[in-house]
């Protein structure tokens, strides 16, 4: 039981890190960036080839993936979403779905469809015994990474001037602009942070499920999106709680109920939660003005 | 009605006039032949104004006259269809709201637009954003520049809040403030951006007479302490006549009268615009 719980939390930590990208972009740009999952896949490939083809050490390979994904996030926002700043949200949503397919197919062209076997980046580390359960180094790193990222992001958004500007933009773009805040820079920065985190999630995900394909990012992307909605989209702690709960539910469902039904159960729980709390666990209840 | 300040308006080059005390100084704002159309509708036309360096000017007119549209033009929320806006002698053609703000124009909003979930102090710090001098990266890594500048910003924010005696509310979230305090916070936030001209859109809306009285004193105090100009939209004639040195009256998007408070009070066209005439 404890072992399943730890597995659930570590898988949930990956979902949480991905969910942060969805939730921050939604909070600030008020859009669902469905291409986010595919940035994870790009992060996976960049780190994979950095390690295998270039023979770079693991930390450098991770940095390379973060760097490339950050740049990719900024470029995608500039080229695909920025021209649609004034468009309807439906137009932006369709564009995001298109961008998702574009990235998948670009990956198919560049890296072909053959699954790549991702190296085990923790092969030199031993599992730790804790209360009778073996905790893999992967679980420790995933959980620790999640905690560090969450704390760092919270400090960034609450204590620094750019973080405060991000929160101001998320509340009222127009008023923020008139106070001298550069909204375009703020949105770019949000995409940069989200995509950089997606690279880290990509490395962790490929370590947990070491089969790398152009579609690797889409299912975890959808699940992390679910986690963000589950926790309350737009909320940073909501992404963390939503991600971890989703991971635990998925692993427990797989272990005790049915591995085929695990995904259905995960989405079923989401539906039940949304019936009772339409804005998610930590989402603010929106009062309708009459 | 409170007593109007005794001001003498003098002509400056261009078709404008400013209070005598500002005659030697450059105009903080000058708009000429300003106009905007929405579709086929002429919302504002032939709007001309010159504002002196420390002038308090009132912009009045019936509902729908185009007053807030003029604020939106001056702050570049809308790009004008016609005419020019000069800030400190520089043409603002094609400038963005952020650039205009950095050139020294700040505003409040008719329907309060505070950052509700941010604290009072954070709201003021958003105004201070461009005056907090550390790089994003030194914020991420919390280098000494970060601590130094954040401390300065904190002190500056409290100092500004103290103008309205709100320093003790610094940690309260903006949406939990009472209505009058929210209006005051909007003024502090705008002031934090370091303007040369402050645009106040109905600052006294919803305030009781004693709050309005206090607001009038504070507007004067801000002008005197910061030596800035203020352009305000207001329906409370007590406030307008009590603190404005010059008044511009707008009706159907056009200026129908300009002058000192006493000139405006006796102007038959203004009375007609506000009360209508008897047609027999």
Q: pLDDT per residue over B92-121, tens digit each?
A: 999 999 999 999 999 999 999 999 999 999
Cα separation, A200 vs A21, whole angstroms:
11
Alpha-carbon distance B10 to nearest alpha carbon in chain A (angstroms): 32
**Percentage of residues of chain B with pLDDT beyond 90:** 75
Among all chains, which residue has been given the structure tokens 């261009």?
B14
Q: Which residues of chain A lie closer than 8 angstroms to B122, CB-CB?
A: 164, 167
Mean pLDDT, rounded, of chain B: 91
Q: Which segment of A1-10, A221-230, B4-13, B174-183 scores lowest on mean pLDDT?
A: B4-13
Q: Which residues of chain B have a CB within 8 Å of the CB of A283? A: none
**pLDDT tens per residue, range B20-32:** 888 888 899 999 9
Looking at the complex, does the CB of residue B111 fall below 8 Å from at least one CB of chain A?
no
Which residue is closest to B102 within chain A, CA to CA? A180
Q: How far is B75 from chain A (nearest CA, A)?
A: 7
User: At a CB cut-off of 8 Å and minimum separation 6, what does B245 contact?
Assistant: B5, B7, B9, B19, B55, B56, B57, B260
Interface contact flag, B102 A167, Cβ < 8 Å: no
Q: What percent of chain A has pLDDT over 90?
A: 77
A163 contact residues in B (CB cutoff 8 A): 139
Report d(CA A35, CA A217) in Å as an integer: 9
> How many Å lie between the alpha carbon of B118 and the closest alpha carbon of chain A?
8
Q: Does B171 touch chain A (CB under 8 A)?
A: no
Please give the C-alpha separations between residue A57 and each of A64, B5, B69, in angstroms, as whole numbers. Answer: 11, 76, 60
What is the gyration radius of the CA atoms in chain A, in angstroms? 19
Contact A66, A200 (CB under 8 A): yes
Which CATH number is associated with domain B109-193? Answer: 3.40.50.300
Chain B residue with minimum CA distance to A180: B98
Chain A residues with CB under 8 Å of B113 CB are 172, 174-175
Tell me how far CA of residue A265 lies from CA of A225, A258, B199, in angstroms. 16, 9, 56
Q: Which residue of B has its CA nearest to A169?
A: B115
Distance to chain B for A6, nearest Cα, Å = 31
**Cβ–Cβ below 8 Å for B139 and A162:** yes
Query: Exposed, middle or buried, A232 (CB in 10 Å: 0-12/13-18/19+)?
Result: buried
Residue B209, token pair as written in the block: 């007479």
pLDDT at A288: 53
Give pLDDT, residue A130.
76
Residues of chain B with C-beta less than 8 angstroms from the C-beta of A171: 115-118
Give the residue-averaged pLDDT of A67-88.
95
Q: Which residue of B has its CA nearest to A171?
A: B115
Can you tell me the distance from the alpha carbon of A30 to that of B130, in angstroms, rounded to the nearest whole number?
25
Do A115 and A211 meet the contact criterion of CB atoms below 8 Å apart? Answer: yes
Tell me the pLDDT band of B86, cut-offs 50, 70 and 90. Answer: very high
The domain ranges of chain B are: 1-104+195-280, 109-193
CB-CB neighbors (< 8 A) of B135 in chain A = none
At B271, the pLDDT band (50, 70, 90 cuts) reads confident
The domain locations on chain A are 2-276
- H or E stretch covering B256: strand B254-259
A147-192 pLDDT tens trace:
999 999 999 999 999 999 999 999 999 999 999 999 999 999 999 9
Please tell me the predicted confidence (pLDDT) of residue B12.
65
A2-276 architecture in CATH?
Orthogonal Bundle (1.10)
Yes or no, beta carbons of B189 and A179 under 8 Å apart: yes
CA distance A237 to chain B (A): 15
Is B102 touching A (CB cutoff 8 A)?
yes
Tell whether B238 lies on the interface with A, counting CB pairs under 8 A: no
Question: Is B1-104+195-280's fold the same as B109-193's?
Answer: yes
DSSP string, A63-81: HHHHHHHHHHHHHHIIIII
A290 vs A284, A287, B113, CA distance in Å?
Answer: 18, 9, 19
Lowest mean pLDDT among A207-211, B7-11, B216-220: B7-11
Across A44-53, A207-216, A242-251, B135-144, least confident range: B135-144
Instruction: Identify which of A168, A171, A180 has the shortest CB distance to residue B130.
Output: A180
CATH number 3.40.50.300 is the correct assignment for the domain at B1-104+195-280: yes
Does this model's pTM top 0.80? My answer is: yes
Mean pLDDT estimate for chain A? 92
Rounded to the nearest angstrom, the minimum Cα separation between B154 and chain A is 11
pLDDT at A238: 92
Q: Which residues touch B9 (CB under 8 Å, ≥6 apart)?
A: B17, B18, B19, B20, B245, B246, B259, B260
pLDDT above 70 covers what percent of chain B? Answer: 94
A289 has a pLDDT exceeding 80:
no
pLDDT recorded at residue B279: 57
Tell me, what's the pLDDT at B280? Answer: 47
- A266-288 pLDDT, tens per residue? 899 889 988 988 888 887 765 55
- Is the confidence at residue B167, as pLDDT, over 60? yes
Beta carbons within 10 angstroms of residue B11's beta carbon: 11
């Amino acid at each position: 039981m404890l072992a399943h719980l730890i597995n659930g939390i570590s898988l949930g930590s990956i979902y949480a890190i991905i969910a942060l990208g969805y939730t921050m972009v939604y909070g600030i740009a008020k859009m669902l960036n469905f291409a986010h999952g595919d940035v994870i896949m790009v992060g996976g490939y960049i780190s994979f080839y950095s390690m295998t083809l270039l023979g770079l050490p693991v930390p450098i390979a991770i940095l390379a993936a973060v760097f490339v994904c950050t740049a990719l996030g900024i470029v995608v926002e500039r080229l695909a979403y920025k021209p649609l700043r004034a468009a309807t949200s439906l137009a932006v949503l369709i564009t995001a779905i298109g961008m998702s397919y574009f990235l998948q197919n670009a990956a198919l062209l560049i890296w072909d469809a053959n699954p790549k076997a991702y190296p085990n980046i923790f092969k030199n580390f031993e599992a730790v015994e804790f209360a009778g359960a073996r905790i893999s180094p992967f679980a420790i790193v995933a959980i620790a990474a999640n905690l560090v990222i969450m704390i760092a992001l919270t400090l960034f958004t609450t204590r620094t001037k750019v973080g405060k500007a991000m929160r101001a933009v998320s509340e009222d773009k127009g008023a923020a602009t008139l106070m001298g805040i550069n909204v375009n820079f703020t949105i770019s920065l949000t995409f940069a942070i989200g995509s950089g985190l997606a690279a880290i999630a990509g490395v962790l995900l490929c370590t947990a499920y070491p089969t790398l394909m152009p579609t690797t990012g889409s299912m975890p992307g959808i699940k992390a999106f679910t986690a963000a909605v589950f926790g309350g989209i737009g909320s940073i702690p909501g992404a963390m709680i939503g991600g971890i709960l989703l991971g635990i539910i998925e692993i427990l469902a797989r272990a005790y109920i049915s591995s085929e039904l695990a995904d259905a159960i995960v989405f079923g729980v989401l539906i039940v939660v949304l019936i009772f709390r339409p804005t998610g666990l930590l989402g603010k209840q929106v009062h309708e003005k009459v | 009605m409170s007593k109007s300040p005794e001001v003498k308006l003098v002509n400056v080059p261009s078709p404008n006039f400013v209070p005598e005390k500002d005659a030697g100084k450059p105009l903080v704002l000058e708009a000429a032949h300003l106009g905007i159309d929405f579709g086929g509708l002429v919302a504002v036309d032939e709007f001309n104004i010159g504002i002196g360096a420390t002038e308090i000017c009132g912009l009045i007119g019936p509902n729908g006259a185009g007053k807030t549209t003029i604020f939106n033009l001056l702050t570049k929320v809308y790009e004008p269809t016609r005419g020019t806006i000069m800030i400190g002698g520089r043409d603002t053609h094609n400038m963005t709201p952020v650039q205009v703000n950095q050139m020294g124009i700040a505003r409040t909003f008719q329907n309060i637009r505070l950052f509700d979930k941010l604290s009072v102090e954070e709201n003021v710090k958003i105004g201070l954003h461009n005056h907090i001098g550390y790089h994003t990266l030194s914020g991420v890594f919390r280098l000494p520049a970060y601590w130094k500048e954040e401390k300065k910003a904190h002190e500056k924010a409290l100092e500004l809040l103290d103008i309205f005696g709100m320093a003790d509310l610094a940690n309260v979230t903006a949406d939990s403030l009472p209505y009058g305090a929210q209006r005051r916070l909007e003024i502090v936030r705008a002031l934090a951006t370091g303007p040369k001209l402050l645009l106040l859109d109905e600052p006294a809306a919803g305030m009781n007479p004693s709050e309005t009285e206090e607001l009038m004193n504070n507007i004067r105090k801000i002008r005197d302490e910061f030596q800035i100009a203020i352009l305000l939209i207001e329906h409370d004639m007590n406030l307008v006549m009590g603190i404005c040195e010059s008044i511009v009256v707008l009706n159907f998007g056009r200026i129908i009268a300009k002058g000192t408070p006493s000139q405006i009070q006796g102007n038959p066209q203004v009375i007609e615009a506000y009360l209508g005439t008897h047609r027999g």
